[in-house]
Amino acid sequence: MKAMKHEPRRRARGLLIFFALFISLPAQAAAAPQREHLTPEEIELVRDTQELDKRTAVFVKAVERRLLALTDPSAKQLKDDLEKWGEVKGTRTQLLSDVSRILDEAVVNIDDAATHNQKSPLLRKALYKLSEASKRFLPHLLPLRASAPSEPERESLEQAIEKAQEVIDAAKTHAIDENDAKEKSGKKGKDQ
């Protein structure tokens, strides 16, 4: 008789445990560590580079390094680059994902700077650098479509192409041109 009284409690406790586990699984999957798209040395360079146009140049160099690894895997990374920038590693899918994520981070940096000071000439200079680099990136990315064997690789490639094209389109929308690259630091007058 006593065993029957405790049976509903056991079932309720069992259901509670089941639901707690069921609810925590998606949270654990979401919390799974994602691969870092920059090397530790590149992260440090980004952190240390405060001027927006120079920080953008760091992102551009990071993308160039991944494109070299994708298009010429046998190319040796220069010793100086390895010391300063770190070693680029990863599968083709990971490197393509890195390209997309690095371009996205560069755009976020420019957007963030724009929210703080829309009149800074460094905004236009940074967007010019990024758009010119994106124009150079596309001819390396587009031919990879023919050799992307897996769905994840094709998806990462398309995201990288789309992000580069978005940068180019944004530069056109804001009428960015080579004159923007010649801007100094934004100190044209005392009021800036």
Q: Strand, coil or helix: what is 129?
A: helix
Whether 170 and 131 have beta carbons less than 8 Å apart is answered as yes
| Mean pLDDT, range 148-170, rounded to an integer | 93
Q: How far apart are CA 105 and CA 103, in angstroms?
A: 5
The answer to whether residue 12 sits within a structural domain is no
Nearest to 151 by CA among 73, 93, 67, 71: 93
Which amino acid is located at 23 in the chain? I
pTM (predicted TM-score): 0.77
The answer to whether residue 112 sits within a structural domain is yes
Model pLDDT, residue 100: 96
The answer to whether residue 9 sits within a structural domain is no
Q: Could you read off the pLDDT of 99-158 as tens digits, one per residue?
A: 999 999 999 999 999 999 998 889 999 999 999 999 999 999 999 999 888 999 999 999
The answer to whether residue 158 sits within a structural domain is yes
The answer to whether residue 24 sits within a structural domain is no
Model pLDDT, residue 60: 97
Model pLDDT, residue 191: 36
The DSSP output letter for 88 is -
Which tokens go with 52? Answer: 């927006």
Task: Write out the residue range of the structural domain in which residue 119 sits.
Answer: 40-182
- State yes or no: pLDDT of 13 exceeds 90: no
The answer to whether residue 140 sits within a structural domain is yes
| Mean pLDDT, range 52-75, rounded to an integer | 92
Which tokens go with 42? Answer: 């590149």
Average pLDDT, the chain: 82
Burial (Cβ within 10 Å: 0-12, 13-18, ≥19) of residue 155: middle
Burial (Cβ within 10 Å: 0-12, 13-18, ≥19) of residue 15: exposed
The answer to whether residue 174 sits within a structural domain is yes
Q: Report how many domains make up the chain.
A: 1
Going by pLDDT thresholds of 50, 70 and 90, the confidence category of residue 73 is confident
The answer to whether residue 129 sits within a structural domain is yes
